[in-house]
Chain A
Amino acid sequence: MIIAQQKPIQEIAEMIAEYKKVAFIGCAGCVTVCLSGGEKETEILATAMRIKRKLEGNPLETVTHTATRQCDPEYVEALEDVIKDVDAVVSLACGVGVQYLAERFDNWIVPALNTNFAGGSREHGVWEENCGMCGNCILDKTGGICPIVRCSKSILNGPCGGSQNGKCEIDKEVDCAWQLIYERMKKMGKLEKLMEIEPPKDWSTSRDGGPRKSVREDVMIG
């Protein structure tokens, strides 16, 4: 899922300082799961902003709503009635949701979150980056451990000389992905696969070629 974190209160407050009536729109997708922009977080942020603005002598009227997904036109469309009378909208979605709202509505739309990475939860309250979204998965060659995002250098024929005692030279807390790959391949009895030299990666499927698009004609309607 997409992992996001709420921006500092002060930063969000500055974005909406000039507006009197603001809608806080949460998202029931990834940001609900990573506890940064769901229904609960939306209500907390709106309440905090109302209190802050009252204390500053600049009262704020808020509307709160949590969309099923802000990255889907169907659910964005349904927000029209919710935000028609507001001066600005604070989106608690990832960057995708913020852009979908800005594209659909003429209101001033601002982000409440910083979108960090694609990852998963390691334990409650801890999320880790696990996918670099390179568009050409090689996990079959690396025992299910991604060297693109989990190796600090994204090297394909590791480990490098910075791997010490299983840790990466950038931080003693960061595992060397190639050490993990080696251990995993050894456990699976597939060490010989690591003897194959991986050629330079074709990055054309990654971000380097500009914004990407995925089309499935078989599921398109109409």
Chain B
Amino acid sequence: MRLQYSTNIRIVEMTCTGNIDHRVILGAFEEGADGVFVAGCMEGDCHFLKGNIRARKRVNAVKKLLDEIGVGGDRLEMYNLSSAQGARFAEIANEMTARIKELGPNPLKEAGISNNLKGGDVT
């Protein structure tokens, strides 16, 4: 397909979005990611039946927590798409990149925090 999408995306592969817990997402932000989007399968298509439904609940909980601690819940989003939707993935990658650019860098970087990721990364 050779689709183009923003080069600042770093993909972290998980076995299923249902395997994502709060710590994985918080850890990404603590290490300097400017934003995180969780790409789960289409609702109703989960191989484990409810992995993506549960992931969305967790993502919503972490969004709330990010608001409370000052990072901002808008930096995190959950999307549902199938592995056959390459074009949609590229679209989401660009959409999320645009949103994060609007929000600016991870505020932890401004607080002078060293991190292992390059500036502007979206994981």
Q: Which of B9-17, B18-26, B36-44, B76-84 is the interface stretch?
A: B18-26
B117 at the interface (CB under 8 A from A): no
Q: Is the CB of A51 within 8 A of B108?
A: yes
Q: Which residue of chain A has its CB nearest to the CB of B21?
A: A40
Q: Which residues on A sit within 8 Å (CB–CB) of B111?
A: 54-55, 57
Q: Mark A39-55, 1 if CB is under 8 A from B, else 0.
A: 01001100111111011
Cβ-defined contact, B26 with A51, below 8 A:
yes
B107 adjacent to chain A (CB < 8 Å):
yes
* Interface size class of chain B, counting residues whose CB lies under 8 Å from the partner chain: 10 to 19
Chain B at the A interface: SS class: helix
Question: Chain A's interface: helix, strand, loop or mixed, by majority?
Answer: helix
Would B69 and A44 count as touching, CB distance under 8 A?
A: no
In the complex the two chains form, what is the Cα distance from A49 to B71 in whole Å? 12
Is A56 at the interface (CB under 8 A from chain B)?
A: yes
- Give the number of residues in A that approach B within 8 Å (Cβ atoms): 16
* Bound form: Cα–Cα A63–B108 in Å: 20
CA gap between A200 and B29 in the complex, in Å: 59
CB-CB nearest in chain A for B65: A48
Q: Counting CB contacts under 8 A, is A174 at the interface?
A: no
Known: A9-B69, A10-B68, A56-B70. A51 touches B30 (CB 8 A): yes
CA distance A54 to B106 in the complex (A): 12
Assembled-state Cα–Cα distance A21/B29 (Å): 21
Q: Which positions 26-84 of chain A face chain B at CB distance < 8 Å?
A: 40, 43-44, 47-52, 54-57
Q: Which residue in B21, B27, B70, B113 is a CB contact (below 8 Å) of A52?
A: B70
Cβ-defined contact, A9 with B71, below 8 A: no
Q: Which of A40, A43, A51, A57 contacts B69 (CB 8 A)?
A: A51
Contact: A48 with B26, CB < 8 Å? yes
Q: How far is the CA of A120 from the CA of B92 in the complex (A)?
A: 42
Q: What are the residues of chain B within 8 A of A8 when measuring CB–CB?
A: 68
> Within 8 Å CB of A43, what residues of B?
23
CB pair A40 B113 closer than 8 Å: no
The answer for the CA separation of A40 and B24 in the assembled complex, in Å, is 11
Chain B nearest CB from A42 CB (Å) reads 10
User: Which residues of chain B from 45 to 81 have a CB within 8 Å of any chain A CB?
Assistant: 65, 68-71
| Cβ contact within 8 Å between B108 and A54 | yes
Q: Which of A44, A51, A56 contacts B23 (CB 8 A)?
A: A44
Which A residues are CB-close (under 8 A) to B107? 55
CB nearest to B70 among chain A residues: A55
Q: A47-B27, A49-B69 are in contact. List 7 more A-B contacts (CB 8 A).
A: A9-B69, A40-B22, A48-B26, A51-B26, A51-B70, A54-B113, A55-B107
A→B interface (CB under 8 Å): 8-10, 40, 43-44, 47-52, 54-57
Q: Which 7 A-B pairs have the closest CB atoms?
A: A52-B69, A55-B70, A47-B26, A9-B68, A44-B22, A54-B111, A48-B69
